[in-house]
Amino acid sequence: MEALRKRLLPPLLLVAICITTFVIAAAAVSGIHLDAYGDMAAWSEAHISRSLFLELAVMLAAFAVLFTLSLAILQAGNRRLIANYRQERRMTHVVKAAEDANGAKSIFLNDISHELRTPLNSILGFSEVMQAGLYGPLDNPQYVSCVDDIHRSGRHLLSIIDDLADLSKTQSGETEMNEAPLNLAECLETTGRMFSCLPEAIDLTFKFDIHSHLPWVMADKDAIIHVLENLLTNAIKYALTGSIIIKAQIRQDGDLEFSITDTGIGIPKDEVQSITQRFNQVDPSWKRKFDGTGLGLALVKALMARHDGDAAVTSEIGVGTTVTCYLPRRRILLAAASKESSAA
């Protein structure tokens, strides 16, 4: 209401100025004529009265016009201000409702994650005990296969819960960013070599195409590693055989980009735009062969957005997929880059 009163003040001042101007003008005109009539003895009293009456009538008409215009302006301004005020109130309620809903969603996901993790960890623990044969061997090979399926399914479900919780916290801004100077080249090489040693990547060739003097960046190391882990996990999962290329460079516009390219199944053109949305997977027919929910790329995009950057996907069926992440130039630490160059 305070904002509404402030907005109504200018029109009210306009009306007050009009009234004041009329009073001053009337007083001035009346005074001038009375002085003039006092010096003219030939004018009759009746003539003076008629003249004053006409002048007052004209001034009253002018005042009526000014007052009507001022009132019309005031009413138009009031309608506009009231409409704006109501719209702001509605927007405030909408924003608050969205914030409350987002908060409730985060609380729900945190609670459900906690409730599901406990029994899942028990399932995983017991399945690992059975796989190790701590209480004796499983004589039937079918039992061994079933235990392996239980363990694999449990790990997959646990990864979904973790991705859901991470995505919710990242998009709501609950995850605190611990930004510090980061040697991105070293981070890319270390994470890439670690994934190249995984059993799933035994048939894949890892290639590194990283600029020799790639500058340091201001970023959250854990978040960037999380981005790389998601991208490399997807690349290994869908590549089967061939190669994975880890690339990083400074673009012509000054921004920094790093990318993961695989020689996997590829993504149809009509699905490339939606692949970074939640729960979107490339092709449902592959779901039976490759576990996944589509949360990984959505989380990558959200984490890059927290760094004022973005992630984009390019792909071709039967050729492979490239996910490119961008960091704006303002996050590039030129001092760190020059220090590294001089040391080399």
CATH number of the structural domain spanning residue 202: 3.30.565.10
Average pLDDT over residues 284-312: 73
Which of 38, 65, 98 lies at the terminal end of a domain, its last residue?
Answer: 98
Confidence of residue 185 (pLDDT cuts 50, 70, 90): very high
Report which residue type is found at 79. R
Alpha-carbon radius of gyration of the chain: 38
What pLDDT does 89 receive?
A: 78
Residues 62, 195 within the same domain = no
pLDDT at 298 over 50: yes
| Mean pLDDT score, 91-117 | 71
Kindly list the strands in the beta sheet with 216-220, ordered across the sheet, starting from the edge strand earlier in the chain: 179-182, 216-220, 332-333
Instruction: State mean pLDDT over 46-53.
Output: 54
- The overall longest dimension of the chain from CA atoms, in Å, is 139
- Domain identity same for 187 and 282: yes
Same-domain pairing of 49 and 155: no
pLDDT of residue 59: 64
**Domain final residue pick, 98, 133, 149:** 98
Checking if the pLDDT of 323 tops 80, the result is yes
117 and 87 in one domain?
no
Q: Which residue has the tokens 């390219």?
A: 261
Say if residue 339 is in the same domain as residue 206: yes
Domain of 126 in residue numbering reads as 104-172
Least confident piece of the model among 23-32, 89-98, 157-166? 23-32
| 266 plus 130 within the same structural domain | no
Check: CB of residue 245 under 8 Å from CB of residue 261: yes
The number of beta carbons lying within 10 Å of the beta carbon of residue 261 is: 23
Q: Which residue has the higher pLDDT, 327 or 98?
A: 327
Which has the minimum average pLDDT: 141-155, 250-264, 315-329?
141-155
- Residue 338 pLDDT: 42
Show which of 83, 98, 113 is a domain's final residue: 98
267 phi, psi to nearest 5 deg: -125, 135
pLDDT tens track for 244-261: 999 999 999 999 999 999
- Pair (75, 144) in one structural domain: no
Contact 135, 267 (CB under 8 A): no
For residue 141, what pLDDT band results from cuts at 50, 70 and 90?
A: confident
With bands split at pLDDT 50, 70 and 90, how would you rate the model's confidence at 18?
low
Count up the domains in the chain and report the number.
3
307 and 268 in a single domain? The answer is yes
Q: What is the pLDDT of residue 184?
A: 95
pTM as predicted? 0.59
Cα–Cα distance for residue pair 117/131, rounded to 1 Å? 21
**What is d(CA 185, CA 192) in angstroms, rounded to the nearest whole number?**
11
Report which of residues 288 and 240 the model is more confident about: 240
308/118: higher pLDDT: 308
Pick from 64-73, 251-260, 290-299 the range whose average pLDDT is largest: 251-260
| Least confident segment among 8-22, 121-135, 241-255 | 8-22
- E strands, 139-215, where? 179-182, 204-210
Identify the sign of the CA torsion 91, 94, 95, 96: positive
> What average pLDDT is seen over the chain?
75
pLDDT of residue 15: 54
Q: What's the pLDDT score for residue 205?
A: 93
Clarify whether residues 79 and 217 are in a common domain.
no
Mean pLDDT, residues 68-88: 71
Same domain assignment for residues 108 and 185: no
Using pLDDT thresholds of 50, 70 and 90, give the confidence band for residue 335: very low
Same domain, yes or no: 237 and 126: no
332 lies in the same domain as 221: yes
90 vs 233, residue with greater confidence? 233
